[in-house]
Chain A
Amino acid sequence: MLPLPPALPLAELEVGQHLYWQLGNLKIHGQVFLSSWVVIGALLAVVWIGTRKMDRDPRGVQNLLEFLWDYIRDLAREQIGEKAYRDWLPFIGTLFLFIFVSNWGGALIPWKLIHLPSGELGAPTADINTTIALALLVSLAYFYAGLSRKGFRYFEYYVEPTPIMLPFKIVEDFTKPLSLSFRLFGNILADELVVAVLAFLVPLIVPLPAMFLGLFTSAIQALIFATLAAYYIGEAVHEEHH
């Protein structure tokens, strides 16, 4: 897709190219699934190793898992509230872990060593399909959370504190997934592109600061996505005190 000058053979950039897999009459992006399976595999491996032998005195990977669990619990409890956070802890935690490992995997695993017939491997979150899928899941989650906890009283939320808010709150339902997905997608893709462009121009040392910044951004984006998801759910289950 990108017509590269042939004088620069050190690095190659591809964007918007995908490895298409045909599934019936559906097309899917193979490279996204391949890297997401690596991410999911890594997650499950760590979790499996850490929970094989659970002890009251934690050792090894169990420490890491308990730290993560504690971190996610604090996040969920702070945003969703004491009453409902338990139901949503696994969802928030999975979002956080999946996005975090995806982002860092995209930055740390030398994907370029694996050549695909088309497109290239990278963070699954650098594909708009993944981020929209995650953001829509968050939308479904907060609707479900609100409706299951409050029934149709959930829609009171749209006219609180005043009915003037109604159009804004309806617009919010569309802007929430939009901003969630584009924020994540844009940050991760931009990070990968910056690193790739820098590596393309100056292959040594110069990309390193951008790579470190990328790791930082990746972690922050995972935290932001999980925090906002928890916040939206918390907003939906929040009981107004009259």
Chain B
Amino acid sequence: MTSWLLLAEAGASAAGTPEGGLFDLDATLPLMALQVVILTFILNALFFRPVGKAVEDREGYISTSRAEAKEKLAQAERLETDLKAQLKEARLESQRLIVEAEQEVDRLYRAALAEATAEANASRESARRQIDAERNTALTQLVKDADDLGELIVSRLLAAS
């Protein structure tokens, strides 16, 4: 290890001499700098620009897709509320129709019932009236027959006497 340190010192002190040393600065320095600058331009053209473009395109694509999806979601939600309102309305409407129909049925039933009752009453009444009339006729006839018979008996009796 000691020899290493000695060596480094030797290298440093030997910088003046043409051969070797750790701190041997020469034309390597500017040429390396030039090389790195050229590498920067090449990498910019081959790597940083295209990859940056790809990444940013994707970021743009993702953000637009997100925005689109959000918009679609909002639209779907709007449609949903819209449809829900429509559904509610339809439900109310159907409820109303049912009530109406029930009322109608009830009304018709009542009307038919009333009509039937009236008819039945009427026919009963007419039957009763007919019966009365016939009874009256029969009574009248009976009375008349009785009168006739009475008269006949009277006349017979009278004739016999």
In the complex where A47-B46, A134-B36 touch, is A33 in contact with B28 (Cβ < 8 A)?
Answer: yes
Contacts of A36 in B (CB 8 A): 32, 35
**What class of interface size applies to chain B in its complex with A?**
35 or more
Asked if A242 CB lies within 8 Å of chain B CBs, one says: no
Nearest residue in B to A55 (C-beta to C-beta)?
Answer: B54
Asked if B87 CB lies within 8 Å of chain A CBs, one says: no
Contacts of B14 in A (CB 8 A): 16
Q: How far is the CA of A124 from the CA of B39 in the complex (A)?
A: 15
Q: How far is the CA of A89 from the CA of B51 in the complex (A)?
A: 12
**What class of interface size applies to chain A in its complex with B?**
35 or more
The DSSP consensus for interface residues of chain B is helix
The DSSP consensus for interface residues of chain A is helix
Asked if A10 CB lies within 8 Å of chain B CBs, one says: no
Q: How far is the CA of A73 from the CA of B24 in the complex (A)?
A: 35
Residue pair B7, A1 in contact (C-beta under 8 Å): yes
A contact residues vs B (CB 8 Å cutoff): 1-3, 13, 15-18, 20, 23, 26-29, 32-33, 36, 40, 43-44, 47-48, 50-51, 54-56, 58, 62, 65-66, 69-70, 73, 89-91, 93-95, 97-98, 124, 127-130, 132-134, 136-137, 189, 193, 197
B contact residues vs A (CB 8 Å cutoff): 1, 3-4, 7-8, 10-11, 14, 18-33, 35-37, 39-44, 46-52, 54-55, 57-58, 61
Q: Can you identify 22 A-B contacts, CB atoms within 8 angstroms?
A: A1-B7, A1-B11, A2-B3, A2-B7, A13-B4, A15-B4, A15-B8, A16-B10, A16-B14, A28-B27, A32-B28, A47-B46, A54-B50, A55-B54, A62-B51, A89-B48, A90-B40, A128-B23, A130-B29, A133-B30, A134-B32, A134-B33
